[in-house]
Structures are given as structure tokens and as C-alpha cells.
Amino acid sequence: MPFTMERHERYDPEDIERLLQERPFDALLAEERAYVLRHLSGREEYEAMRALLSQVREDEHRRAPVQAGDEVRAQVLRAFRQEHRPQWRIWLNSLGNMLLPREGATMPLLRPALAIASLALLITVGLWVARHGGTDAAQPLAEAEAPQPKASHAPSPERPAASAPANAAAEPVRPQGAATAPAEARLEDIVRAEPVEQAHAVADGEPATTSLAQREPRDRPGTEAGPHRERAAIAATQSNAAAEGETQQVPGDAGPADAATRAGKTEARAAPPGTLAAMPQLLALMTTGW
């Protein structure tokens, strides 16, 4: 059998349909023709089938397609939405059914409106609670105010300058109400209280508890001045501990920062706790222009 270069193609022996589409009977290869003739009566039948196939394809191009219409699409998408409705919306609609059980002409309008209104109400309530409820968020960041037991203090009137020594022991223990006194007034009080506080001052490096132990026999709790002197001692101890820490951090360096620190230390010993003066480090930073 001669080998034909231009017809070098593979075909499926069962694929008569493809042959019908590709070539007329006269253009078939010998083996293709032999296969076709095994299933068809002859050339006429092959050509009749080939013509019918051509007419069917031509007719397909001529046919006007059938349109479904927009309402079918709308129905289908409505069914989809109904099936995939979010659960929260179902809950709100059931709430609407509970509140307004009678179905009326307005229900289809009220139900989504009820859902939206309920949601808006919840959001509003939530925002209000978040804003006004809970702890008071208006507190300043750095309020120099020591926690004071409220019951034992009465609001103290302005102290006269002559009674400074007698009041000095109680000076560090300031009632809570006086925490907002002007800084100048506090400074005066501190200066006045210095002689008494220096007597209680502990040298740098001594443990803070020593001063408290020393004061114990004199200032027993339960005496008239006991609670006040005890608090003063505690305050002084705190200021001394702060001073010690500062000394350890800045060992012996002379300079404006150091002088300010020492001044701050002195003030801290005399300064009432909870005030800015009671924090020498912070005061030193502010003085040096931090």
C-alpha cells in the first residue's frame, strides 16, 4: 500500500461521524472507505448522511434561541436568598412575629424595618453603656495623690503659720481633700515642717526600717498622736527609701542634676506623700528640663 504523505493522519476506525464531517466519500482513504462500507450500503448512503449533517448544522445557526425571561432569574435568585438567609435576620423576624403576631399588608414592610430598628437600638444602648458605665475614665494619668483612709480624716482648715511645729508631725498626713492645694502652699508647709522632719530623717544608706523601729517606743499606735506620727514615719521612710534608690542610681556625681536631686530628696522627706514633691526623681527631671 503506497504511503501518502499528505494524508498522514491517524483516525479512530469507529469514528465514522468524524469522517462524515471531514471528507466526501471520494476523498476517503482506502482503509477508511473499507471501514465505512462495512457499516453503510454504499456511497449514496454515506453522502446522504453527510448532507443531513450539513443541513442540521446550518439549521442550528438559523434557529432563534428561546429566551427564559427575567422573571425566571428573579424567582431562582429569590429561592437562593431564602435558602441562605443569615440566622440573625431570621431571629429578628421571629421577634417581629412575636411582637406583631397578626399578619397584615404592612408586615412585609415592618419586618425588615423592625430588624433594622432593633439593631440600631442595640448599637445605641451598647455605645451609651460603654461611654457612661464602668470606671471613671476621666482620671488624670499622673495624679499625685496617696490613697488615704477616708474615715479617720476630717477636712482640715487652713493652718496658721505659728502652729507649724505642733502640726508638723501631722503635716505629711494630709487629708485627701487637701490634695488639690496650690503648690506654693505645700512648699510653705514643707519648709515649715523641715526642722521636725530632719529629726526623723535617716542618713543615706541606712535601712528604712531602722527609723521606724526607733520611733516605735515613742509613737505607739493607739495614743492620741500615735496614728498621725506613725503615718508620718511611714511617709518619711518612703521618702528615704526613694532617696536611697536615687543615690544608688546616681552615685556621687556632682552636677546640677545631682543638686536638684538632693534638693528633691530633702523636699521629699518633708513633702507629704502623694505630691509631686514626694517624688524627687520626677521633680529632678522636671527641674533639669527633661
Partner 1 sequence: MAPFGMDYDRLSDERLMALAAKGDERAFGAVYDRYQHRLINYFHRMLWHDRERARDMLQDLFTKLARNPAGYDAARPFRTWIFSVANNMCKNAYRHQHVVKAAANHLRHAQGHEEPLHGAGVDHERFRRRLDEELDRLDPDHKATFVMRYHEDMAIKDIAAAFGCSEGTVKSRLFYTLKKLAERMKAFDPNAVHHGKA
**Which residues of the shown chain bind partner 1 in the complex (CB under 8 A)?**
14-17, 20, 39-40, 44-45, 47-49, 51-53, 55-60, 62-63, 65-69, 72-73, 75-77, 79-81, 83-84
Nearest CB to partner 1, comparing residues 47 and 188: 47
Cα diameter, the chain: 140
Nearest CB to partner 1, comparing residues 81 and 102: 81
Query: What is the spatial distance between Cα 70 and Cα 260, in angstroms, rounded to a whole number?
Result: 86
Query: What is the spatial distance between Cα 209 and Cα 27, in angstroms, rounded to a whole number?
Result: 119
Nearest CB to partner 1, comparing residues 24 and 226: 24
Nearest CB to partner 1, comparing residues 84 and 150: 84
Nearest CB to partner 1, comparing residues 46 and 92: 46
Query: What is the spatial distance between Cα 70 and Cα 115, in angstroms, rounded to a whole number?
Result: 29
In whole angstroms, how close is the CB of 25 to partner 1 at the nearest point? 10
In whole angstroms, how close is the CB of 112 to partner 1 at the nearest point? 17
In whole angstroms, how close is the CB of 86 to partner 1 at the nearest point? 8
80 CB-contact burial (10 Å; exposed 0-12 / middle 13-18 / buried 19+)? exposed
**Which grid cell sits at 168?**
508638723
Query: What is the spatial distance between Cα 236 and Cα 190, in angstroms, rounded to a whole number?
Result: 12
- In sequence order, the 6+-apart residues with CB closer than 8 A to the CB of 95 are 114, 118
Query: What is the spatial distance between Cα 243 and Cα 206, in angstroms, rounded to a whole number?
Result: 11
Query: What is the spatial distance between Cα 105 and Cα 111, in angstroms, rounded to a whole number?
Result: 11
In whole angstroms, how close is the CB of 13 to partner 1 at the nearest point? 11
How many CB atoms are located within 10 Å of the residue 173 CB?
21
Nearest CB to partner 1, comparing residues 40 and 241: 40
Nearest CB to partner 1, comparing residues 39 and 218: 39
In whole angstroms, how close is the CB of 78 to partner 1 at the nearest point? 9
Query: Exposure pattern of 266-281 as b/e (b: 16+ CB <10 Å)?
Result: bbbbbbbbbbbbbbbb
In whole angstroms, how close is the CB of 39 to partner 1 at the nearest point? 7
In whole angstroms, how close is the CB of 32 to partner 1 at the nearest point? 14
**Which grid cell sits at 236?**
518619711
The number of CA neighbours under 13 Å toward the Cβ of 67 is: 4
